[in-house]
Amino acid sequence: MKLTVLVDNNTLIDRYFQSEPALSLLIEEDGRTILFDCGYSDLFLKNAQKMGLSLANLDFVILSHGHMDHTWGLEALTRQSCEMRLEGRPCKRPTLVAHPAAFTSISVDECPEIGSLLEPGKLSRHYDLILDAAPRLISERLLFLGEIPRRNTFERTEGMGIKEGERTADLIPDDSALVYRGSEGLVIITGCSHAGICNIVDQAMALTGESRITDIIGGLHLLVPSQERLAGTVDYLRKVGPRNLSPCHCTDLNSKIALAAVAPLREVGVGLCVTYL
């Protein structure tokens, strides 16, 4: 499996791409091309073009959850594919995979909408939709984890915003991730890990029956975490024993320093390309 970072909060040194506080990854696996999250804008398209990568032949678009820094770029992707078809240029019709709650309207503070700008009815005209809370195979070795059971109490999810205009805190049930079963163990690919990275690892190991962890790459939702949450995460990951950790996006510096005591940390940013066996 080949993974390329199209959008992250950071860029790699001496790689002349742009960044934004968002995430988008391109995954190539078993002849399939998969876009995991779309970032906040059209930046993932611009960076992909600078890398010489075409997103016209995507087989899958997979959303980790519905927040704007992971879904608002979907409008740019949809517009590009529509324009290509109008011009008679070849463009695949991808399958879009997400938890059904990923399209819930969410408001927070003074911002009236931080959820997806597009709703399933219109998206179904451009994508084959699979909106399901259940796990789903993307390829023989790549699995969408579906809704994540939340077992670790130190990873309690705090409500973020208000759902559908109601006075109900959004606990982000749609937050999910991918797992790749490689020859050396699991590669866990996350968006924001609102469900808790340890809960996500639990789900990945339970569904695959594999306990070896090659890498965890993506956002870990460790932005000024409580002492309890950070200590619990470090203790959990130390017991699991990943070979590498590749935190990015919503993982702050202090958390990365703490995680460096668990496993070697890879620097992640736009332009990173990693191959897993």
Say if residue 167's pLDDT is above 80: no
Q: Determine the Cα–Cα distance for residues 39 and 270; give it in Å rounded to an integer.
A: 12
Average pLDDT over residues 93-109: 93
Say if residue 229's pLDDT is above 90: yes
pLDDT of 191: 98
Task: Write down the pTM of the prediction.
Answer: 0.95
Query: Do 235 and 258 form a contact (C-beta atoms < 8 A)?
Result: no
pLDDT of 255: 97
∠ CA 6-42-88, rounded to 5°: 105
pLDDT tens digits, residue range 232-253?
999 999 999 999 999 999 999 9
pLDDT of 171: 85
pLDDT of 161: 64
Say if residue 109's pLDDT is above 70: yes
Radius of gyration of the chain (CA): 18
| Average pLDDT over all residues of the chain | 94
pLDDT tens digits, residue range 4-30?
999 999 999 888 999 999 999 999 999
Q: Determine the Cα–Cα distance for residues 210 and 207; give it in Å rounded to an integer.
A: 8
pLDDT of 211: 96
pLDDT of 168: 65
3-class DSSP assignment, residue 113 = coil
Tally of CB atoms within 10 A around 247: 24
Say if residue 54's pLDDT is above 80: yes
pLDDT tens digits, residue range 188-209?
999 999 999 999 999 999 999 9
What is the enclosing helix (H) or strand (E) of 81? helix 74-86
SS3 track for 87-106: CCCCCCCCEEEECHHHHCCE
pLDDT of 55: 96
In the numeric block, the tokens 């890990």 are attached to 193
Q: Determine the Cα–Cα distance for residues 89 and 56; give it in Å rounded to an integer.
A: 9
Directed axis angle between helix 197-208 and helix 227-240, to 10°?
30
DSSP 187-250: EEEES--TT-HHHHHHHHHHHH----EEEEEEE--BSS--HHHHHHHHHHHHHH--S-BEEESS
Which of the pair, 16 or 168, is modelled with greater confidence?
Answer: 16
In the numeric block, the tokens 């499996």 are attached to 1
Q: Determine the Cα–Cα distance for residues 46 and 57; give it in Å rounded to an integer.
A: 16
Average pLDDT over residues 130-152: 97
Phi and psi at residue 179, in whole multiples of 5°? -135, 135
pLDDT of 5: 98
What is the enclosing helix (H) or strand (E) of 185? strand 185-190
